[in-house]
Structure 1
Amino acid sequence: MKNIKILFPLLFIYIVGFAQNSNRVFKNIEQTKNGLEINVNDGKYLITFINEKIVETTFFPKGEEVNMKSHAVVLKAEDLEITPVLGNQSEFFSNGISVHVNHNPFQIIYKYNNEVIISEKQGYFKSKHIPLENVKGNIIAKETEKIEFNLTDNEVLYGAGARALGMNRRGNRLALFNRAHYGYETHSELMNFTLPIVISSKKYMLHFDNAPVGYLDLDSKKDNCLTYETISGRKTYQVIVGDSWIDLIDNYTNLTGKQPLPPRWALGNFSSRFGYHSQQETENTIAKFKSAKIPVDAVILDLYWFGKDIQGTMGNLEVYKDSFPDIKGMISNFKNKGVKTVFITEPFILTNSKKWNEAVEKDVLGKDSVGNPAKYDFYFGNTGIVDIYKKEGKDWFWNIYKDILSLGVKGLWGDLGEPEVHPTWVQHATGSANEVHNTYGHDWAKLIFEGYKTEFPNERPFILMRAGYSGSQRFGMIPWSGDVNRTWGGLQSQPEIALQMGMQGFGYMHSDLGGFAGANLDDNLYVRWLQYGVFQPIFRPHAQEDVASEPVFRSEKAKKLAKKAIELRYKLLPYNYNLAFENNQKGTPLMRPIFFEEDAEKLMSNSETYLWGKDFLITPILQDSVKTKEIYFPKTANWFNFYVDEKIEGGQTKTVKVKEKSIPTYVRGGAFILMTDVVQTTDNYKANKLELHYYYDASVKESERTFYNDDGITANAFEKRNYELLEFEAEISKRWLEIELEAEFGSNWQSSEKEIMLVIHNINWNPKKIKVAGKRKRITPQNNVLKIPVKWNPKKEVAIKISLK
């Protein structure tokens, strides 16, 4: 049991902005198991200390019942002991976060490390609904319920889901209503993934734990005011704090769930377009990858797998045999080549589709106001929508997925899950369209994930979706940034979207590489987008078919440069797989904003340069014909050019030359980067032949890195003790650079000998002595790079010593 100490200072005065709702009168505070109940004249507050870095507050208006079920939260509150409360002002301390209650005038304030984090301003109130223009007709209510907070002048605000607004989202009022934005470029206020999350540069998060649609106002009136607004539902929010950015995201993903490790093949290259019309076209495409020796791990079939036409076939959800006469054989042949097959699905069942009558008969669809299957028109035809909120709908949909998976399919794509068209009058088993609209994609992913757990418990699902909600990451969701325009403007918004979503728990947010919308044939844009793709979570070129998305159909020059990028992606597989493990363990994003490295005000809005994991500093080329690029190098390290080993001291902005064959890529001094030979599919990767690159920097006296490995396919391999952790340590003394290799294993892991090529960069002297496991080696550096082959039985530690003279 942990104690919360309750103190009553003689002088407790905190004035910020305006005091809370002046009509709200404090009555009393009562003790609860692990928090407090504060009674006021118009309702009550229930405050729960979930742990020392997370506190949850719910307001219950007088006479109103509030649903206590959360779509997002999975973390159970710790048991706490609380002593009785007396006095005119009260302070409630855990060992971390604290809650301060002013009785008169009434106000709730949150502190961490004795500093104010956030405070309620008016707190909860109702007022007239003023709809934003972009959701008029979508969010309908005469009045909305609001929770209002004070901000400080200089806070930078992130969050609210996937948007293209610039990194600092302060100054915007944003709709919480998932909706696709076709062909967006540098500015998009409303996209597929809206999330009720605000993140402050003061390293706290506010998560509004409520499903219905609404708004986030991030100080749009310039009055230092943050407001959450909703049509209905829970008046619940969590305040989450952290000692660092990594700690903050760890705490949030403890609250809402960690992302399971994806299958390793998900980190490889995808062959994808909208779409492959036939079995022959699909097979010919993969054959071209193989003949060009361009690595490929998966092929994605868009909607032509169930119909010949774009319109009028959605909802068939069974193989169209005229176009795919032997799809099971095709999938099996691909599998033998190391290529996995992914199928698209949608939640819409057209009234003229093969499944409509069955869906009506089995009562699996959303309803209209009188209880009939809801029918309405959209681009693809007259449709209904699967009601995944009733048992019949869930079971019916999952049985279709079981049929798909029985063909040998290894990945499932859920498209249009905002849902794309979702009239407010549609009723689901648990409420109206607007009450479940934002969580539909979330619960759709949950349906698939839980089906896998029941039917295929040892298999890692691959669930590609473009809409979800807070906490969807725990269902293994792989999100992408929607129908971005195939232009430089479309590319420019992608780092921001991925970085923002990584901070909100979605470490695998990625883009359709090359851009999706429009018939723009621009090889330079295409290559630059794929080069950026090497250092973003999922490498999946995808586009409308009028211009090919696959490198095998591009010009020889573009194909050559794309192949080089894809090969680098595969060489980085050991490093990237460890990033996936870090995300699984701590929620840490694969792509990380530069201010994670250096917490400077000038960097808080920078998305042009970012970290790929801990040790790569990446600056994608986001404009045409760029010859030079100004890059800021964080002062926390020295940085080495990945391609030519040039050293740049941290803490400066430097103009660097831009090469056609790569984007500016730098490695932290003192880092270990684990790489492998290029393989044509991740099926051929065994992690027994590796390159271990060490970037020698005399200023880094000690450094250590750990790399995770398992079989890449078994669900919960780490929990099942079926893994290895490879540990590399460097230490610089007066006379020696010593590098140690050691490993630890899960009890069910079978270790095997490894061939390691140790590549030490920045060795600008000829070492007099080199010893491997005590045995002398005669090796001369070439171009300041020393390569030492090491045969290593991971059950034993190996030491490599290089003299510094």
Structure 2
Amino acid sequence: MKLFNRCFRLSASGGWLLLVSLSCPLASQAAQYQSHQLQKNQLQVQTDEYQLQLSFKSPGAVEVFYQQSGVKQLPSFALAEPELALPAQLKDEQTALQFGTEQLQVRLQKSPLQLQFYRGNELILKEEAGYFAHQTLRGFRFALTPDEKLLGGGERVLGMDRRGQRLPLYNKASYGYNGETKQMYFGLPAVLSSKKYALVFDNSASGFLDLGATEKDVLQFEAVAGRTSYLVVTAPTYPQLMQQYVNTTGKQPLPPRWAFGNFASRFGYRTEQQSRDIVQKFHDADFPLDALVLDLYWFGKDIQGHMGNLAWDNEAFPQPKQMIADFKAKGVNTILITEPFVLSSSKRWDEAVAANALAKNLAGQPKRFDFYFGNTGLVDVFSKEGQAWFNGIYNQLAQDGVAGWWGDLGEPEVHPADSIHAIGTADEIHNAYGHQWAAMLYQNRLEQQPQQRPMIMMRAGFAGSQRYGMIPWTGDVDRSWGGLKPQVELALQMGLLGMGYTHSDLGGFAGGEQFDQELYVRWLQYGVFQPVFRPHAQEHIAPEPVLHDKTTQDLLRPFVKLRYRMAAYNYTLAYQNSTLGLPLMRPLFFADESQTELMLNKDSYFWGDAFLVTPVTAPGVKAVTVQLPKGVWLDYFTGQRYEGGRSIEQPTSLSTLPVLVKAGAFVPLVPAVQSLSQYSSRQLELHYYHDDSVAAGQGELYEDDGVSPDSLATGQYELLKFNAVHAKGQLQLSLDRTGLGYIGMLKQRAVTLVLHQLSKASAIELDGQPLPELSSQAELKAAATGFYRDKSNNQLWLKLDWTKARHQLQLSSGG
């Protein structure tokens, strides 16, 4: 039996404190196999020190659960279905057990006990010392290969490869960050390796993730308490790995369609009249709008002293229910901030205490402590009483018509170590607090409003929080170029581990002495190609574009309307995320896994499959360096053609953003509307980006009613499929309608098909019949069918009436 000569525990602030004990029993790093049994698809192994349980959660994902006598276990938070165990093949050899599926095999060495993980014949991961536990510390150790890159760990500003870092696992506010940041609002005890596996530690306790920092070839997870289990997920490709990951930890449900629209948000709207005025201002300035977000002034006249009221301040908001109804009539949804803190000065303190809704101190009384907003307690979202009390408030507000929920400070921002929750201490469950809060809210909203998709924004959570519809944002970022620069990195890192809706406060939240037009415009341009379009900031500099000068508005209006024109494309990305686990913002290495250098790129990303976006993150930029994956790429704004597999300098101006489109991509566009409540693809503009070098292209468009929570589960949707095949100078395009359909589904679409780089095409036929050539765009617009050559832009415009299940277009590409 080995011993540590010192013991440590983690303080609530995330630092290690030395304890006086000098001999701390440690689970042996040389445990010996004794016996095993396969029961209900679970492999249970008994050693001389603990029981080990292995169960496959999907064909490419296995849970490894060590259970030692006297070591307290918490429930799984990461797993969508903790009791699920899929069949796997077991082979008993003299020195080892082999347990696995065709996609993932575990080799369990018997003496000393050690686990190794194989994808086919390739060893992808192995335990080093494996499991360890003593009174104040527990975790796992794995061997790393010399050239292995490690992404993950959640929100950190450290570069894409986190190898060599020691990362605190303690969700913690990082106010006004604008550069390298190791510890932030939403950490994840998980990594994704360049060897195409993900390793997830299903432990909610305070700890560290040491990625070869202390010992360069050792990955060590350590925590002060919590569940001693981990997940290994693997697949042949990264997109398939994403799918295996969400099959195990849960798929993100579809958000309501309106969540992809423009938000009016600030810290904060202080009165009903101010709220009404800003909604009207968006309308008058010809800016679309789908949501108004109310910060904490809805329940208190100033910042301090009111948190926990969570009821309308009727002096400032005399008719909130009517206000919400009036907004809804304009297609504007109301989102309210809520926090889990209940101040002892609030109107609900006595009510919360009487309901037994708060975390306790060591004497069993409500735990009180001071923080910025006042003397407070914390709702125990892990207890039935805390959930019932909190849900009662949400139910009342939902009756007022509130459509979306903003959970703030859910790290929790202040969480004393001696706070006692229903299932453990603060340090045991801290990192799962936001996760449990989201689970509580999501499940309650579906029970109370079964016909309405929940919309839940939160800034802290855990592995698997996506299955509760969580939409995270990157916290109180500094309003500076330094704040804008890391936003792509943050979103990519989160999206790779399930949190595909991670986005930033557009324009920056904290600080700033005066309005910087260029910074503001560049940030909101980037926002067009991120999951949620929500400018939000401290109010001394207006976050809303409609409150800035005409020049700023004129620069941004086309981009906000482009966001609305892309509504069909963006909503299809949501479908792909909910079914396949693909993030909306995707890293460049998804395009070519042989280009390992793309894994380090933190400045560019794919928006879906079609777009390659490089936000401008410095002032005065005339061109940006773009690392192009292989293929052909076209500048979205100018049509300039670029050969991939190299770096280019892409020109830009304040009226454009560096955006490229992949040759072979389809991009559906719809008319811009004032609100997505008016969304329709009846007038569909479908762009195909042709290049003679591309043999095939494909795309899709997902449509449903935009609100039903069970659209995917019941098949109540329509999926439009687009395909292109190019060979020997001939291009064939097909448009297919598939799916069971839904109430209100369109029977017909007027389609304008825009074929890029094809103005010289000839012999154009639709469903075997020649199309008439027209002489102008105006003539094409007035016609039911036909085509027009836009020679100045090298485009071919075709018009057709899409009524059948399938249409085919045949033409000579002119190449």
Q: When the two structures are superposed, what TM-score results if normalisation uses the length of structure 2?
A: 0.92
Between 89-98 and 684-693, report the one with greater CA deviation.
89-98
* Secondary structure of 1:329's aligned partner: helix
> Where does residue 127 of structure 2 map in the other structure?
120
2:412 to 419, 424, 439: 419
1:49 to 40, 49, 56: 56
Instruction: Indicate yes or no: 2:44 matched with 1:37.
Output: yes
2:109 to 91, 102, 108: 102
- 1:303-337 deviation digits (Å, cap 9, x = unpaired): 00011010001111111111111111211111111
Pick closer, same or farther for the CA change 1:270–1:65 going to 2, 3 Å.
closer
Contact 1:766 1:780 in 2 (8 A): no
Between 555-564 and 505-514, report the one with greater CA deviation.
555-564
> Where does residue 792 of structure 1 map in the other structure?
802
Instruction: Indicate yes or no: 2:612 matched with 1:603.
Output: no
1:578 to 559, 572, 575: 572
Between 607-616 and 733-742, report the one with greater CA deviation.
733-742
Pick closer, same or farther for the CA change 1:640–1:72 going to 2, 3 Å.
same
Pick closer, same or farther for the CA change 1:687–1:82 going to 2, 3 Å.
closer
Distance in 1 separating the partners of 2:392 and 2:112: 57
Distance in 2 separating the partners of 1:730 and 1:431: 57
Cα shift at 1:83: 5.3
Pick closer, same or farther for the CA change 1:422–1:279 going to 2, 3 Å.
same
- 1:498-535 deviation digits (Å, cap 9, x = unpaired): 00000010000000000000034211001101111111
Q: Please tell me the residue identity of whatever aligns with 2:79.
A: A
Distance in 2 separating the partners of 1:172 and 1:494: 20
Cα shift at 1:76: 5.2
- 1:605-635 deviation digits (Å, cap 9, x = unpaired): 1011111101111111111111121212111
Q: Please tell me the residue identity of whatever aligns with 1:374.
A: K
Distance in 1 separating the partners of 2:168 and 2:392: 35
> Where does residue 409 of structure 1 map in the other structure?
402
Residue segments in structure 1 that go unaligned for 5+ positions in a row: 1-19, 128-141
Cα shift at 1:223: 2.4
Pick closer, same or farther for the CA change 1:559–1:222 going to 2, 3 Å.
farther
Cα shift at 1:804: 3.2
> Where does residue 257 of structure 1 map in the other structure?
250
**Mapping for residues 618-629 of structure 1, pairs under 5 Å:** 618-629=613-624
Cα shift at 1:166: 0.8
Pick closer, same or farther for the CA change 1:447–1:484 going to 2, 3 Å.
same
Instruction: Indicate yes or no: 2:550 matched with 1:541.
Output: no
Between 448-457 and 142-151, report the one with greater CA deviation.
142-151
- 1:75-102 deviation digits (Å, cap 9, x = unpaired): 6544436556241244334212112233
> Where does residue 199 of structure 1 map in the other structure?
192
> Where does residue 498 of structure 1 map in the other structure?
491
Contact 1:260 1:474 in 2 (8 A): yes
Distance in 2 separating the partners of 1:81 and 1:498: 35
2:625 to 630, 635, 642: 630
Contact 1:375 1:382 in 2 (8 A): yes
Cα shift at 1:695: 0.7
2:612 to 607, 611, 617: 617
* Secondary structure of 2:151's aligned partner: strand
Contact 2:136 2:225 in 1 (8 A): no
Distance in 2 separating the partners of 1:81 and 1:568: 49
> Where does residue 25 of structure 1 map in the other structure?
32
1:781 to 775, 786, 789: 789
Between 625-634 and 485-494, report the one with greater CA deviation.
625-634
Distance in 2 separating the partners of 1:662 and 1:292: 21
Q: Please tell me the residue identity of whatever aligns with 1:415.
A: D
2:722 to 717, 723, 728: 728
**Mapping for residues 58-137 of structure 1, pairs under 5 Å:** 58-64=65-71, 66-67=73-74, 69-74=76-81, 77-80=84-87, 85-126=92-133
> Where does residue 712 of structure 1 map in the other structure?
706
Cα shift at 1:376: 0.8
> Where does residue 755 of structure 2 map in the other structure?
760
Contact 1:673 1:693 in 2 (8 A): yes
Contact 1:317 1:345 in 2 (8 A): yes
> Where does residue 163 of structure 1 map in the other structure?
156
Distance in 2 separating the partners of 1:405 and 1:610: 37
* Secondary structure of 2:734's aligned partner: strand
> Where does residue 812 of structure 2 map in the other structure?
803
Root mean square deviation, CA, Å: 1.8
2:472 to 479, 482, 502: 479
> Where does residue 523 of structure 2 map in the other structure?
529
Pick closer, same or farther for the CA change 1:446–1:700 going to 2, 3 Å.
same
Cα shift at 1:220: 0.5
Q: When the two structures are superposed, what TM-score results if normalisation uses the length of structure 1?
A: 0.93
- 1:191-244 deviation digits (Å, cap 9, x = unpaired): 110111111011101111122221111110242100110111221011100111
- 1:370-398 deviation digits (Å, cap 9, x = unpaired): 11111111100111111122222111111
Pick closer, same or farther for the CA change 1:746–1:517 going to 2, 3 Å.
same
- 1:330-358 deviation digits (Å, cap 9, x = unpaired): 11111111111111111111111111111
Distance in 1 separating the partners of 2:86 and 2:603: 44
**Mapping for residues 6-17 of structure 1, pairs under 5 Å:** none
> Where does residue 387 of structure 2 map in the other structure?
394
Cα shift at 1:772: 6.1
Distance in 2 separating the partners of 1:81 and 1:559: 59
Q: Please tell me the residue identity of whatever aligns with 1:788.
A: L
Instruction: Indicate yes or no: 2:664 matched with 1:644.
Output: no
Instruction: Indicate yes or no: 2:575 matched with 1:567.
Output: no
Contact 1:634 1:652 in 2 (8 A): yes
Instruction: Indicate yes or no: 2:275 matched with 1:275.
Output: no
Contact 1:67 1:233 in 2 (8 A): yes
Cα shift at 1:709: 0.5
> Where does residue 305 of structure 1 map in the other structure?
298
Q: Please tell me the residue identity of whatever aligns with 1:608.
A: D
Percent identity reads 42
* Secondary structure of 2:684's aligned partner: strand
Contact 1:269 1:298 in 2 (8 A): yes
> Where does residue 4 of structure 1 map in the other structure?
none
Q: Please tell me the residue identity of whatever aligns with 1:569.
A: R
Contact 1:723 1:748 in 2 (8 A): yes
Contact 1:53 1:251 in 2 (8 A): yes
Residue segments in structure 2 that go unaligned for 5+ positions in a row: 1-26, 774-786
Cα shift at 1:53: 1.0
Distance in 2 separating the partners of 1:769 and 1:381: 72
Contact 1:29 1:85 in 2 (8 A): no
Contact 1:21 1:123 in 2 (8 A): no
> Where does residue 23 of structure 2 map in the other structure?
none
* Secondary structure of 1:119's aligned partner: strand
Pick closer, same or farther for the CA change 1:560–1:237 going to 2, 3 Å.
same
Cα shift at 1:115: 1.1
Q: Please tell me the residue identity of whatever aligns with 2:158.
A: L
Pick closer, same or farther for the CA change 1:63–1:75 going to 2, 3 Å.
closer
1:671 to 644, 652, 665: 665
Distance in 1 separating the partners of 2:80 and 2:444: 20
Equivalent residues, number: 770
Pick closer, same or farther for the CA change 1:524–1:455 going to 2, 3 Å.
same
**Mapping for residues 120-519 of structure 1, pairs under 5 Å:** 120-126=127-133, 143-519=136-512
Instruction: Indicate yes or no: 2:550 matched with 1:556.
Output: yes
Distance in 2 separating the partners of 1:498 and 1:581: 18
Contact 2:72 2:227 in 1 (8 A): no
Contact 2:764 2:770 in 1 (8 A): no
Pick closer, same or farther for the CA change 1:69–1:496 going to 2, 3 Å.
closer
Q: Please tell me the residue identity of whatever aligns with 1:49.
A: F
Pick closer, same or farther for the CA change 1:555–1:145 going to 2, 3 Å.
same
Cα shift at 1:718: 2.5
> Where does residue 3 of structure 2 map in the other structure?
none
Cα shift at 1:143: 3.4
Cα shift at 1:407: 1.2
